[in-house]
Structure 1
Amino acid sequence: MADNELRSWYLRYIAALNAHDLSGMDEFIHDQVMAGGEQVTRGDIVTVLGGIIDAVPDIHWEVEELLLDRDGIAVRVTNTGTPTKTWLGVEPSGASFKIVEYAIYKVSNGRFVQMTNLHDSAEMLRQLTA
């Protein structure tokens, strides 16, 4: 994909996440993906995303910075939300979180084949339990 196509494609992925529409993830995620150093299936990724959306119904990903390099994507995203169910071992209290996530992706044949993300989960837990 050309950079402008890759940018548009990635922003459609984020729009689907923000719409909480996981039904079309086969457009974005290959059947088998290297995620965080482990081989997983698209279904595994969708299950994790679905669990987040279920526990944090207002979860939102805001792209702050997006860098493209051939088949690679690096992104800085702000994640916000307010859990309404027990999540990450924390009972819902009405507390919200706002954290920065950094993600690196590799795309092949128009779908993610590698997905790696990093966020400060300690800071998120601090915000949720403050």
Structure 2
Amino acid sequence: MSTPDLRKLYLDYIEAINARQFHRMAEFAHDTLVFNGEPVSRDDYVATMRQHMDAVDNFVWRLDDLIIEGDRVAARLTDTGTPVKQWLGLEPTGRSVTFTEYAFYHFRDGRFENMWYLLDAQTIQQQLTVRG
């Protein structure tokens, strides 16, 4: 897959997530993928995404940097939203969060089969901690 094609595919993926078009995930991910080192079904991956969306109102991913090398993609995103349910072990406080996420993908046959991500959990915790 060429770099321009992979770029368009990844941008379409981010657009689908932000639009909550989970039915489209078969376009982007294999039936089985490795998610942060653990094999999961695409359905389980989508269920995890739905849980995040359910816990964080107006969750949005904004792509800041995208690097493509061969069949690998690296992305730096800024994520925003307001937790309304317990999320990442933290109770909602009514405060919104803005944090950085790093995501890495390995694509095969036009869909990703490996994904790793890392959230700036310290920033999230600081933003949600109520100070007296």
Question: TM-score, normalised on structure 1?
Answer: 0.95
User: 4+ residue runs of structure 1 moved beyond 6 angstroms?
Assistant: none
Question: Which structure 1 segments of 5+ residues have no match?
Answer: none
| In structure 1, distance between residues paired with 2:83 and 2:32 | 29
Amino acid at match of 1:113: E
Once the two structures are superposed, what CA deviation does each residue of 1:85-121 show, in whole Å capped at 9, x if it has no partner?
2222333221111111111100001111000011121
* Structure 1 stretch displaced more, 93-102 or 8-17: 93-102
| In structure 2, distance between residues paired with 1:82 and 1:44 | 24
Equivalent residue, structure 1, for 2:101: 101
Task: Please tell me whether the aligned partners of residues 102 and 117 of structure 1 are also in contact (alpha carbons under 8 angstroms).
Answer: yes
Equivalent residue, structure 2, for 1:70: 70
| In structure 2, distance between residues paired with 1:36 and 1:88 | 16
| In structure 2, distance between residues paired with 1:119 and 1:86 | 16
Equivalent residue, structure 2, for 1:42: 42
Equivalent residue, structure 1, for 2:30: 30
Question: Which structure 2 segments of 5+ residues have no match?
Answer: none
Task: Please tell me whether the aligned partners of residues 95 and 129 of structure 1 are also in contact (alpha carbons under 8 angstroms).
Answer: no
Equivalent residue, structure 1, for 2:114: 114
Q: CA deviation at 1:125?
A: 1.6
Amino acid at match of 1:98: T
| CA spacing shift, 1:104–1:17, aligned 2, 3 Å | same
Q: CA deviation at 1:57?
A: 2.4
| In structure 2, distance between residues paired with 1:91 and 1:3 | 41
Tell me the matched-pair count: 130
Equivalent residue, structure 2, for 1:7: 7
Give the share of equivalent positions with the same residue, in percent. Answer: 42
- Quote the RMSD (CA, aligned, Å): 1.0
* Structure 1 stretch displaced more, 66-75 or 120-129: 120-129
The answer to whether residue 27 in structure 2 is matched with residue 18 in structure 1 is no
| In structure 2, distance between residues paired with 1:22 and 1:129 | 31
| In structure 2, distance between residues paired with 1:102 and 1:88 | 16
